[in-house]
Chains A and B, each alone.
Chain A
Amino acid sequence: QSALTQPPSASGTPGQRVTISCSGSSSNIGSNSVIWYQQLPGTAPKLLIYGNNQRPSGVPDRFSVSKSGTSASLAISGLQSEDEADYYCAAWDDSLNGRGVFGGGTKLTVL
């Protein structure tokens, strides 16, 4: 069982806005930045977005994040077929000895 809780699946149609939630606790999301990773089918995960909407080069601003208390959300606007992937949230955890925690992942399907 993952320390961060994500819905196992999400879906949307092209052009739609979808959100994926990530729930944690005061020791992880509640006190640290949330990081999101995208894993396209058959490929390695890649860093998608972190902190205060910081995106690595090449990640479009259609991806954004928000956080409230011990929960966070990834929003994807203008959904495109190439966004179909697994999405993982992660966060440093102050209660663990020098490590963070992953969410279980959300499979996003573009209908």
Chain B
Amino acid sequence: QVQLVQSGAEVKKPGASVKVSCQTSGYIFTSYGISWVRQAPGQGLEWMGWISVYYGHTNYAQNFQGRVTMTTDTSTNTAYMELRSLRSDDTAVYYCVRDSSGWIFSHWGQGTLVTVSS
């Protein structure tokens, strides 16, 4: 079965960076894109960006341009999302999702809580 398993919770200080991993299994990794979606405490869903696993192309949401980098490792079927210059309002649960095109996010990781606090 399709699974996306994310790395564990992180606590970071303002200004630091965080890199979240998303290990996938159960499907052909290069056949789908990966999007990253975050959810601040008590808030809705916010799309951060997308990466084409096959081509490596990326498309980042304007809010994160210049601060986020999404990559993949096809040898381990793992996707990564790095967010830099963290602020307190970056505290959120970060999800990787298998993107089946047209924003049909068919499978979600379990989420990674990133807490930014001094």
Q: A-side interface residues toward B, CB under 8 Å? A: 2, 32-33, 35, 37, 44-47, 50, 56, 88, 90-92, 97-100, 102-105
B110 interface residue per 8 A CB criterion:
yes
* Chain B interface residues toward A at CB < 8 A: 37, 44-47, 50, 59, 61, 95, 102-111
Cβ-defined partner of A92 (8 Å) among B45, B61, B95, B102: B102
Whether A35 pairs with B103 at a CB distance below 8 angstroms is: yes
Q: Which residues of B contact A35 (CB under 8 A)?
A: 102-105
Which residue of the partner chain A has the closest CB to B96?
A44
9 new A-B contacts at CB < 8 Å, known A33-B102, A100-B47, A102-B46: A44-B95, A44-B108, A44-B109, A44-B110, A56-B106, A88-B44, A88-B45, A100-B102, A102-B44
Per DSSP, are chain A's interface residues mostly helix, strand or loop, or mixed?
strand
* 5 closest cross-chain pairs (CB), A and B: A100-B103, A44-B108, A105-B44, A98-B59, A102-B45
Question: In the complex, what distance in Å separates the CA atom of A90 from the CA atom of B50?
Answer: 16
Partner of B44, one of A47, A92, A104: A104
A98 engages B45 (CB within 8 Å): no
A100–B105 alpha-carbon span in the complex (Å)? 11
Given contacts A98-B50, A99-B47, A102-B44, contact A45 B59 (CB under 8 A): no
List of B residues within 8 angstroms of A91 by Cβ: 103
Determine if A105 and B45 form an interchain contact, defined as CB atoms under 8 angstroms apart: yes
CA of A72 to CA of B102, assembled, Å: 17
Residues on the B chain within 8 Å of A88, using CB: 44-45
CB distance from A63 to the nearest CB of B (A): 16
Nearest-CB distance from A96 to chain B (Å)? Answer: 9
Question: How far is the CB of B100 from the nearest CB of chain A, in Å?
Answer: 9
